[in-house]
Structure 1
Amino acid sequence: MPKIKAVEKRIWDVEGFDVQFHQNGKDVRGDKQGVPQYGYERAAKNDMTVSEWRDTRFHNSYPGYQVEVLDGDGAFVHGGTKLGTVRDTYEE
């Protein structure tokens, strides 16, 4: 089983945005092991919202964890934001 930081990197590689794992309201250390690797091969569609991505991709793969999606400046993104908008913040 990979470490959290490896899963976060895999999400970046597939989805094109950074994430931060949380558990019980606290940031999860990157060296924590025992989580499955992110299983998706293709990025979610740009018109999917952050909340939809969390519900359909993240929570199904990582029950017991929460996730924050970060924009290109490292700020947390609101759940109603489209993934395409988030990805665009990294291209500037």
Structure 2
Amino acid sequence: MGQITVRELEERILELEEVVVRIRAPHDALVNDYAGKDGAYERKAAGTTSVSDWLEQRIKPSINGLEYSIINGDYSTPHGRTKLSTLRNSYEK
């Protein structure tokens, strides 16, 4: 697994997952690439996945213990049981 900057990771997550994640680190700090065991993610996580499961499976392995925030459409933090489809729908298109 390669490394990318925090800024690149935030941008990749937004582009693929359609979710805003802010990582508390300098934007040029290095973190693990947004990828699973089989390589880079090509599809967004299922809408039925909870935010907490998504964080455990996809986000936390990339950020090396750094603090982060998930921001929904009304600029608040969604509950961990919120489904990704609900979170994605909270953003104005």
State whether structure 2 residue 34 is matched by structure 1 residue 38: yes
Deviations 1:13-72 (A, max 9, x none): 010010012xxxxx223x232212212221000010100001111122333224322112
Q: Structure 2 counterpart of 1:12, which letter?
A: L
* TM-score relative to the length of structure 2: 0.79
Instruction: Show structure 2 runs of 5+ residues with no match.
Output: 36-40
Give the ranges of 4+ consecutive aligned residues of structure 1 lying more than 4 Å apart after TM superposition: none
Distance 2:70 2:11 in 1: 13
| More strand, by proportion | 2
Contact 2:31/2:64 (<8 A) preserved: no
Count matched residues: 86
The CA RMSD measured in Å over matched residues stands at 1.7
Seen in structure 2, the aligned counterparts of structure 1 residues 42 and 57 have a Cα distance that, compared at 3 Å, is same
SS of 2:87's equivalent? helix
Q: Which is further off, 42-51 or 67-76? A: 67-76
| 8 Å contact kept, 2:73–2:87 | yes
Deviation at 1:91, TM superposition (A): 3.5
